[in-house]
């Protein structure tokens, strides 16, 4: 009886397997932040974003760009540095319950990566189509690019890097080496950012109309395929969870 009471008390004091507050916060923070970004685009895209030689362009768009560069580099440095510095050096000796809890936490990271990828690769990338097919660009740093290439892509890169580092530093499943598909799913979308160099070089070398299916854009397509690496990550996770649960769920 006493032992049972102690066990119940221990369960009540134990951290939940899935911290729902973290999950909701992770999704909400991206949605709220990007809602604000979209509002900013709506207000200052047309009023200050059409002529890159105008003083207001410098005020509202170039300054936005400089600020986001600083914030992104510092966020990546602090976040990735923290994850690495606080790594579990005895990761192979954690209890199965703790491992399960960490898998849940890892999935909070992956959910956040899903949301970040959606905004970067889907929402802001297709938005770029309508902006540039409507407005003739006179700079590489158009309002659309300031958000798409230099904000939404770094955000999903930072999130993907965080997910990968979390798995690598805290989960026994990922200690046997580096998962090839996890690297594909994070490094591939990251490569879209360097590919911006090719894109901008091409757009300035050839005075191009904004045809979205132009071969110049195929670098983005190739690296976009790598998002499918998430299928390999799912397979690894399902196998790891089945091993942890050891129950017939049928």
Partner 1 sequence: MSASQSAVRSRAEAVKVSRTFDWLICFTLFFVVLGGYHVHFMLVAGDWDFWVDWKDRRLWVTVLPIMAITFPAAVQAVLWWRYRIAFGATLCVMGLLFGEWVNRYFNFWGWTYFPINFVFPSQLIPGAIVLDVILMMSGSMQLTAVLGGLAFGLLFYPSNWPVIAPLHQPVEYNGMVMTLADLTGYHYIRTGMPEYIRMVEKGTLRTFGKDVAPVSAFFSGFVSIIVYVLWHFFGRWFGSTAFTTAS
Least distance (Å) between residue 5 CB and partner 1: 16
Residue among 3 and 70 whose Cβ is closer to partner 1 = 3
Tell which residue, 65, 24, 29, 66, has the closest CA to residue 159: 29
Q: Which residue do the tokens 């970067």 mark? A: 120
DSSP 14: S
**Total binding residues toward partner 1, as defined by CB under 8 A:** 83
Q: Does 229 bind partner 1 (CB under 8 A)?
A: yes
Q: What angle do CA 197, 199, 204 make, to 5 degrees?
A: 95
Residues of span 204-223 touching partner 1 by CB under 8 A: 209-213, 217-218, 220-221
Residue among 41 and 57 whose Cβ is closer to partner 1 = 41
Angle between helices 96-117 and 230-245 (to 10 degrees): 160
Q: Does 127 bind partner 1 (CB under 8 A)?
A: yes
Least distance (Å) between residue 42 CB and partner 1: 6
Residue among 11 and 55 whose Cβ is closer to partner 1 = 11
Residues 95-114, one symbol each (x = binds partner 1 by CB under 8 A, - = not), give xxx-xx--xx--x--xx-xx
Residues 10-49, one symbol each (x = binds partner 1 by CB under 8 A, - = not), give -------xx-------------------x--xx--x----
Residue among 73 and 138 whose Cβ is closer to partner 1 = 138
Cα(56)–Cα(43) distance, integer angstroms: 13
Least distance (Å) between residue 70 CB and partner 1: 26
Residues of span 159-178 touching partner 1 by CB under 8 A: 172, 175-178
Cα(2)–Cα(8) distance, integer angstroms: 10
Length of the chain: 250
* Biggest distance spanned by C-alpha atoms of the chain: 81
Residue among 51 and 77 whose Cβ is closer to partner 1 = 51
Q: Which residues, other chains included, contact 158 with Cβ-Cβ below 8 Å and sequence gap of 6+?
A: 72, 75, 76, 79, 80
């Amino acid at each position: 009886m006493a032992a049972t009471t102690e066990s119940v008390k221990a369960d009540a004091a134990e951290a939940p397997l899935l911290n729902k507050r973290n999950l909701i916060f992770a999704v909400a923070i991206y949605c709220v932040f990007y809602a604000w970004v979209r509002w900013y685009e709506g207000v200052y895209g047309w009023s200050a974003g059409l002529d890159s030689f105008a003083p207001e362009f410098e005020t509202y768009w170039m300054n936005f760009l400089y600020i986001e560069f600083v914030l992104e580099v510092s966020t990546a440095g602090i976040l990735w540095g923290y994850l690495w510095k606080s790594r579990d050096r005895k990761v192979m000796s954690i209890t199965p319950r703790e491992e399960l809890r960490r898998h849940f936490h890892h999935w909070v990271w992956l959910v956040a990566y899903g949301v970040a990828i959606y905004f970067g690769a889907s929402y802001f990338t297709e938005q770029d189509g309508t902006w540039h097919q409507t407005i003739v660009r006179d700079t590489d740093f158009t309002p659309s690019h300031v958000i798409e290439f230099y904000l939404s892509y770094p955000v999903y890169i930072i999130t993907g890097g965080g997910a990968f580092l979390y798995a690598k530093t805290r989960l026994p499943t990922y200690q046997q080496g580096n998962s090839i598909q996890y690297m594909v799913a994070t490094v591939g979308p990251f490569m879209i950012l360097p590919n911006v160099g090719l894109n901008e070089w091409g757009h300035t070398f050839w005075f191009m109309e904004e045809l979205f299916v132009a071969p110049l854009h195929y670098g983005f397509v190739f690296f976009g395929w790598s998002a499918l690496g998430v299928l390999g990550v799912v397979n690894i996770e399902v196998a790891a969870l089945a091993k942890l649960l050891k129950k017939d769920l049928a």
